[in-house]
Amino acid sequence: MSELSKITQTLMEGDGDTLITLVTEALAQGRAASEILNDELIAGMDLIGEKMGNGEMFIPEVLMTAHAMGGAVEVLKPHLGEGESSSAGTIVIGTIKGDLHDIGKNLVVMMLESSGFKVIDLGVDVEPEIFVEAIKENEPDILGLSALLTTTMPMLKKTIETVDASGVRANLKIMIGGAPVNQEFADEIGADAYAPDAGSASRMAKSMIV
């Protein structure tokens, strides 16, 4: 167990090279790739999300850990049996029409992917109809909508209305985020959840799947 806790600790330190060495050694010692992934790496990203939400970790550190996580997952992939690397769920995400900001969204994407989600990132300035097409094509569990400008907040409402009108909302949860929005606004426009930061978004997504 000490070896595995060292893996988690190294991930949280963002030391990608050492992490790859530790993961490789753990595999050589006969540890199951799925156990390393779920119990140590994904569990570590959950802790990182919590620390980010609490203000104990900041964006540069989180970016380092996400990069380290990506390298470790690449090492594990060939050793994961059929079904062992199954996704925690599928999420379609994008920044709404009229808004070109993507730094926050990209961080959310990295946190979600590191937590085991399959993420379809539609980018920025996304028309409501494009979201609908992506939902029909990918049948996601969650739709993530991002807005950074106060002036684009009405487009969040319009996007959700378009999704509702298209008939694809039945088994879909909608989560919104971005500087100008809050829980009250999420309730007002019919979103299922609001996440103030990337760590919260990851935890919220997991709770919505379960």
CA distance 118 to 131: 16
Q: Who contacts 30 (Cβ-Cβ below 8 Å, separation ≥6)?
A: none
Q: What would the pLDDT profile of 189-209 be if each residue is shown by its tens digit?
A: 999 999 998 888 988 999 998
Residue owning tokens 């060292």: 6
The whole-number pLDDT of residue 1 equals 43
Q: What mean pLDDT do residues 166-183 have?
A: 95
Report the percentage of the chain scoring pLDDT > 70. 95
Do 123 and 94 meet the contact criterion of CB atoms below 8 Å apart? yes
The whole-number pLDDT of residue 88 equals 85
Which has the closest alpha carbon to 76: 149, 3, 25? 25
Buried b (16+ CB within 10 A) or exposed e, 5-24: ebbbbbbbebbbebbbebbe
Q: What mean pLDDT do residues 54-73 have?
A: 91
Do 125 and 97 meet the contact criterion of CB atoms below 8 Å apart? yes
Q: What would the pLDDT profile of 6-25 be if each residue is shown by its tens digit?
A: 999 999 999 999 999 999 99
- Kindly report the average pLDDT of the chain as a whole number: 91
* Strand pairing class (173-177; 193-194): parallel
pLDDT band at 85 (very low <50, low <70, confident <90, very high): low
Q: Cβ-count burial of 82 within 10 angstroms (0-12 exposed, 13-18 middle, 19+ buried)? A: exposed
For residue 2, is pLDDT > 70?
no
The whole-number pLDDT of residue 210 equals 66
For residue 82, is pLDDT > 80?
no
User: Which position has the higher pLDDT, 87 or 2?
Assistant: 87
CB atoms inside a 10 Å sphere around CB 155 = 21
The whole-number pLDDT of residue 115 equals 86
pLDDT band at 164 (very low <50, low <70, confident <90, very high): very high
Domains of the chain from N-terminus onward: 2-79 (1.10.1240.10), 90-209 (3.40.50.280)
The whole-number pLDDT of residue 86 equals 59
